[in-house]
Amino acid sequence: MFRRIRIAGFAAALVAAAACGAPSASAHPRPGCTTRTSLGLVAGTARAGICAFRGIPYAAPPVGDRRFRPPQPVRPWHGTLTADDDTRVCPQERDEMSEDYPDRRQIYADEDCLYLNVWTPRPDRAKRPVIVFIHGGAARFGTANEPRYDGTRLATSGDAVVVSLNYRLGVFGWTELGGVDPSYRGSGNNGLRDQIAALTWVRQHVADFGGDPSQVTAVGESEGAFSLSAMLATDHPERLFRRVILESGNGSLVHSAAMERKLAASFPVRSIARLKAMSTTELIDLGNKAAASLPGSAGGALYFGPYVDGTLVRGSVTRRVAAGNARGVDLLIGTNKDEMNFFGQYDPRGLDRLAAEYDGFFPPELAARRPRMTAVYRKRRTARDAALAMFTDQGLRVPATRLAEAQSRWRPTYAYEFDWRPPKGVGAVHTIELPFVFGTLRFTGIEGGAEALKTDRARLTRLSDQMVDAWTSFARTGDPNGRRTVARPSWPAYQVPRRTTMMWNLRPGTAKDPRGAERALWDGYPFDAFDL
């Protein structure tokens, strides 16, 4: 389905190859957007002045005996792979509110999903900067094939090669089964290994699409950013990328080893044979039920994800970064002002419910401090909004500043906050920066976003132009100021004690240590890893 197959005389050979895990391919290259890789010829589609290659396999299908195993290499193909199908989605139940799916299916049940997409001005040898995007979705939802993640604008505006990738979700990629069968030890990080396999594929093959494998910038949002944070705690992360952009994600939400042990011990199926015998939809349902065991709206978003296993992810992300583990990696990191409000959208009482749930997430180690902290947050807010601001700061904003501070000791580091909010929405919520970063201006999952675009398109387009320019400049030079092609403010590096932060809004500008008194309330709390 993901690769349209044109069989010309050697159908039996192609069927046999597919059965062995090798991708099938068409007999004839598509003119104009065709390139030769060491795996075989790949034909894309010319669109909007670029070549788009949709649906290139980067690993063998993780099916059969490969279910719950690390990703395996993809086999070369004969003929030409026609990369023009953008409908592959890793197994999940449709999340209508949050994701921008490529079709109307309610259940996605094809485990053969380890594919990536490439957008390039030309598949030549121009050595353009490379931007690799890893999507979010609580490690349960989402796909590289969402229209809001279309890489056309980034590729054209930045003269860059843009890559997006799928990775296994839910039970399939993030369940630790080593306690059930020692030969499956590490399976709880297989989704992370999928992403690493895709980044390795990029290093090996992106030159065939006009990219420079030494100039790879990995961009992750939400779960994608948690995953990239975890990679910063692996051995020699510079082997995977030269630069990283973390949008609404950081190492504090990488699971601790203790939490992963708790989740693994409570997992309801204790037989590998039974798990391998279950249907895809049964495993999706099993994952949904497992995620529902964590408390609150946000709890279900944190059940699956990378964890500190001591082997791949060596330890606390921020501690390892502070010690210089990622000294060869440039960092740009930021959050949105009202991240947690995302989980209270579309429900008249949603924000009230979310604020009430915060008690279950507040660190017990800080219980004695809480009255004083709450009093500071309450100075300009209602009790509900103070709780939501603390929730956002604890989960995302303050840990991001810690990671920025840690990496700024070794490399130029840049921090941002996205502040624009739709007039009829509930704030600058989680994911709201994505329509601007990609230039698609698709506001899936953002209450009031589409309505705001209708009434204020010119100003929102200008903000998107500025962010696309900053992101692609960083990918090219390691400095978001390095290649300004549109008017926008200068963005100084993040350094203590000034902590200069770019504040993205209709009139962007910088601020020194925004809401620093609230940030400082969390001093001394380690934010090492997520445990509940």
Pair 428, 505: CB distance under 8 Å: no
Strands (E), 368-433: 413-418
Helix or strand run (H / E) with residue 247: strand 243-247
Task: Identify which of 196, 190, 188 has the alpha carbon closest to the alpha carbon of residue 218.
Answer: 196
Strands (E), 68-205: 80-82, 92-93, 107-108, 115-120, 128-134, 161-165
The sign of the torsion formed by the CA atoms of 44, 45, 51, 53 equals negative
Enter the tokens of residue 8: 């010309």
Enter the tokens of residue 425: 């929405």
Catalytic residues: 222, 339, 430
Cα of 30 vs its chain's centroid, Å:
31
Enter the tokens of residue 486: 């549109």
Could you give the CA distance from residue 351 to residue 277 in angstroms, rounded to a whole number?
41
Could you give the CA distance from residue 246 to residue 228 in angstroms, rounded to a whole number?
7
Q: Any idea what DSSP says for residue 92?
A: E
Pair 190, 69: CB distance under 8 Å: yes
Could you give the CA distance from residue 172 to residue 317 in angstroms, rounded to a whole number?
24
* Per-residue exposure over 100-135, b if at least 16 CB sit within 10 Å of its own CB, e if not: bbbeeeeebebbbbbbbbbbbbbbeeeebbbbbbbb
Q: What are phi and psi of 35, to 5 degrees?
A: -140, 155
Could you give the CA distance from residue 415 to residue 469 in angstroms, rounded to a whole number?
16
Amino acid symbol at 411 = R
Q: What are phi and psi of 23, to 5 degrees?
A: -70, 145
Could you give the CA distance from residue 361 to residue 104 in angstroms, rounded to a whole number?
35
Q: Kindly tell me the burial class for residue 379, based on how many C-beta atoms sit within 10 Å of its own C-beta (0-12, 13-18, 19 or more).
A: exposed
Could you give the CA distance from residue 429 to residue 92 in angstroms, rounded to a whole number?
23
Could you give the CA distance from residue 156 to residue 427 in angstroms, rounded to a whole number?
31
Q: What CA–CA distances, in Å, run from 398 to 150, 229, 322, 404, 513?
A: 30, 15, 16, 10, 11
Could you give the CA distance from residue 248 to residue 392 in angstroms, rounded to a whole number?
10
